[in-house]
Amino acid sequence: MANFQYGFNDFNVDFRAQQNVTFTQGWDVHRLALTFEVTARGDYAVDAPFLVSGSLWTYEMPSPASWIGVLHAPSGPVGLKAFMQTLTLETTVTDQQLRGLEKLRAGADLSLRAQLTLTALEYAKHWPVAQDQEVIRIPHATWSNALVQLDAGAFVDVLIPVTTVEARATGARRIREAKTAIRDGRYEHAVALARAALDPVREACNTRKVHDQAAQKKAGERDQEQRWAMLTQSAYALFSGAPHDDSGTTENFTWTRADAIAAVATAAGLLARLEDLP
């Protein structure tokens, strides 16, 4: 929480960031709105006007490019109240900035820092300007859903049901470990974990046998079960390139973040399908 002090403890103004975020779409440049709760404490004048300004930065992200933009209050000065009130601050972000933020956060929650300045417009007793900063932590799902509304990306989280079947529970744990590996930049390891998560799928669906039967048919002649088996076995074969370094083939495989995300999403989706199976 940001705390702005005026005079020698005359009064304080507290800013607490909320976790919601709103985008308004533009042409390559978009408006980003953040919400804060504002509370005044001490000997202040009700409705005394304050001008809020500042700048928005990334927080605890491994990149020298940390500045995002200038913050301003579109509603103009805020008047202090005897109760908590909500204030919206806005900035602009470009498509390139959004792509950069997505790469930096790598599927984790987004942490931003608001460097704020409050200027009292009718306060002459002491210096009228106070500064502080507030860290804004936006959950992964909240930020991702906002991007979807902006048409700047697509977000799908696969919920793997809780199960008492040991092999399937292990597969779900592998998916969680793989998501952590992606956030840590260990893409090859994430793909290897996605491969391991397919083991209970292959066992439950007997995909190797069904795949071999389907391989004897033309693609257009395969039934639905056989097509699922082809997908599962093909994914397993592809992901096997991560833990193996076979001479002349898989030793030359490289894995990007996009590759790892595709592998984990595929394995998670196939694993979630087992909920409908005995």
Rounded to whole angstroms, the Cα distance separating 16 from 76 reads: 19
- Cα–Cα dist 113/5, whole Å: 19
Burial category of 75 from C-beta neighbours within 10 Å (exposed 0-12, middle 13-18, buried 19 and up):
exposed
Phi/psi class of residue 94: alpha, beta or left (left: φ > 0; alpha: ψ in -120 to 50)?
Answer: beta
For the chain, what are the domain ranges?
Answer: 2-140, 166-276
pLDDT averaged per 10 residues, the chain (length 278): 74 90 89 94 86 93 85 91 92 90 85 93 78 93 83 61 78 89 88 95 93 93 94 95 84 89 92 80
Dist. CA 141–CA 109, nearest whole Å: 8
Give residue-wise pLDDT tens across range 143-156: 988 887 776 655 55
The distance between the two most distant Cα atoms of the chain, rounded to a whole number of Å, is: 88
Task: Give residue 161's pLDDT.
Answer: 65
Distance of CA 11 to the CA centre of its chain: 37
pTM as predicted: 0.65
Q: Taking Cα atoms as reference points, which of 85, 133, 138 lies closest to residue 111?
A: 138
What CATH class does 2-140 carry? mainly beta
Q: What would the pLDDT profile of 112-127 be if each residue is shown by its tens digit?
A: 999 999 998 886 677 8
Between β-strands 11-24 and 29-42, what pairing exists: parallel, antiparallel or unpaired?
antiparallel
* Nearest residue to 176 via CA among 184, 204, 1: 184
One-character DSSP codes across 169-214: HHHHHHHHHHHHHHHTT-HHHHHHHHHHHTHHHHHHHTHHHHHHHH
Computed over every residue of the chain, the mean pLDDT equals 88
* pLDDT confidence of residue 159: 66
Do 2-140 and 166-276 agree at the fold level?
A: no
**Class level of CATH domain 166-276:** mainly alpha
The percentage of residues in the chain with a pLDDT greater than 90, rounded to a whole number, is 51
Instruction: Tell me which residue of 82, 85, 84, 58 sits closest to 69, measured CA to CA.
Output: 58
Q: Which three-class secondary structure state does DSSP give residue 148?
A: helix
Q: What would the pLDDT profile of 231-270 be if each residue is shown by its tens digit?
A: 999 999 999 999 888 787 888 899 998 899 899 999 999 9
Q: For residue 162, what pLDDT is reported? A: 62
Say if residues 40 and 75 touch (Cβ distance below 8 Å): no
SS3 (DSSP) at 30: strand
Distance CA 21, CA 206 (A): 45
Burial string for 209-247 (b: 16+ CB within 10 Å, else e) reads ebbeebeeeeeeebeeebebbbebbebbebbbbbeeeee
